Structure 1
Amino acid sequence: MAEPILQVRDLCVRLSGRLILDHVSFDVLRGRTLGVVGESGSGKSVTASALMGLVPIASGSVKFGSREVAGLSERAWRALRGRQIAMVFQDPMSAFLPVRSVGAQIDEQIRAHERLSRTDARARTVQLLQRMEVPDAAQMARRYPHQLSGGLRQRAMIAMALSCRPDLLIADEPTTALDVTVQAQILALLREVSQRDAGVMLITHDMGVVAQSCADVVVMYAGVIVERGSVETILQAPLHPYTQALMAATPEIDGPRPARLATIPGQPPSPASRPQGCVFQPRCGYAHEACGRRPPLRSHAGRDVACVLYEGAA
């Protein structure tokens, strides 16, 4: 079995005094892609930010390889970010500085971590953009973010993330607002990363993307993991009512066209109004008295699931 490049245990994050992530635990394995899925507001992006040292961790353990990174100083994080752990942000338009060319920003990251001349750093930048299949890469490197299309900005963002050959790549909704052709190309690039023995954490709300690109998956709701396991196990037979609802809301391309797309009733809770007991209870069609207490993640049918429906079951 592949070794974990990242081990997260009981990760808790509080922002403005409110609990955002509640004892989140998972592994990212070398050579594999972990999908983190859930609705907007489920805690996916906050998890990524915590793993990059961009938001404070209230408690828990985050091990990168054998090194504990929770609680690192900002100086230590600067040496780690970009070189060993890199991130593809959800919106490259806002992630890139608008007043500097895309190439200059990639050059800067390379030179921050490696002793290269400006000429050598630019040569690597152009090579990376070519690898990302950016046309006329040398010319594109001289352009500003607003002069590139959404697909080209995302490719440039991935080139920056890969510029120092990180061991772990975190991609936060990298295909949002891209057409299906560009989306497929971006996902193919991410698969190449995992194939070179790096670990990839892919954050998405699209179960189709998870099925296409991931080996493992965790399902998050309201800052809590409700189900985790292999993609084959969970997507073929989801157990948690929330996972089942997400799957039901995903249309099948080759199946009969439904009269109406399934939806999940209600809204995810805000951190200020987190329900007692099971966090999905107010929206769950199976809710009953036992759901008034928080169920822990338990191993059942080849995966871990947090639901009282499976307590005591084999």
Structure 2
Amino acid sequence: MPMEMRNWTTVQEFTLEGFPAIQHLGKVLFFVHLLAYLASIAGNVVIVTVTCADSRLHTPMYFFLSIFSFLECCFISAVIPKLLLIFLLGKQTISFLACFIQAFVFVFVGATGFLLIAVMSLDRYVAICKPLHYPTIMNLKTCFLLVTACLALAFPLITGLVVTVSQLSFCGPDIIPHFFCDLGPLIHLSCSDTRSIEMLAFVLTSFILLTSLIITTIAYSNIVVTVLRLPSAKEKQKAFSTCSSHLIVLSLMYGSCVFIYVKPKQTNRLESNREAALVNTVVTPLLNPVIYTLRNKQVHQALRETMCRMKITR
């Protein structure tokens, strides 16, 4: 029988283990994660809405931030709703197809997000280090091309990887030691020879994460050098305050993802991967709206004016 047929006849569904050690706190954890999920969605939706509604925010920086916020909504929505069901109802099973759809959405949106972070870092580099050329370099056409490039690079790489993993033979066990369908635990469950797939996953994830990290590091290093040359101490403090806030979120995102994915053997540290993934899927999406824009006075003003207009129309 072909391998593809065995996939569908031997394993029809998987069981997500979740967090068995604290499953007795299911209802408490449900409310905590529900509040975090709703807060993340609300914060990111506010960013997208205000950016679209206020013409003063129709700039490259806020264009990229709104796209990033939309990706964050997709990213957490691929994982958290199922986790809430596990906590509240104990529904840990997920079909073979749904599992790989979840894995694809999670990895694709995550990869696109990291590439977009590199683009956002380049945008800040041009704005701070090349201010006179900024309007010419970062025009609307360039912004669309950069976002399209992120999607165009991530889609074939992640699609190829997920399809390849889905073609492996899964003949049991079917318990995924995670709270969502991630590729590492899925590869570990396969009864095929997975050495080449593990190396492929390692190379692709390393390429995306490290490329994004290197570009971001170079961009921010140049920004720091430029800021240090500013004559005013107040300007330096303001610039460093903004950069430090961004770097906190970037450190959480890159740190957790490099810890999870940039290692050849996905069988190692599956237990600790779960905690790192929780930071990546719950904590950083909650912090991103606050760090990137909700602390911004321009966004505050646009939000107040938008709410005032809504009250007037009522």
Q: Scaled by the length of structure 1, what TM-score is found?
A: 0.24
The one of the two structures with greater contact order (alpha-carbon pairs below 8 A, sep at least 6) is 2
By percentage of residues, which structure has more helix?
2
Q: Scaled by the length of structure 2, what TM-score is found?
A: 0.24
The structure with the largest alpha-carbon Rg is 2
By percentage of residues, which structure has more strand?
1
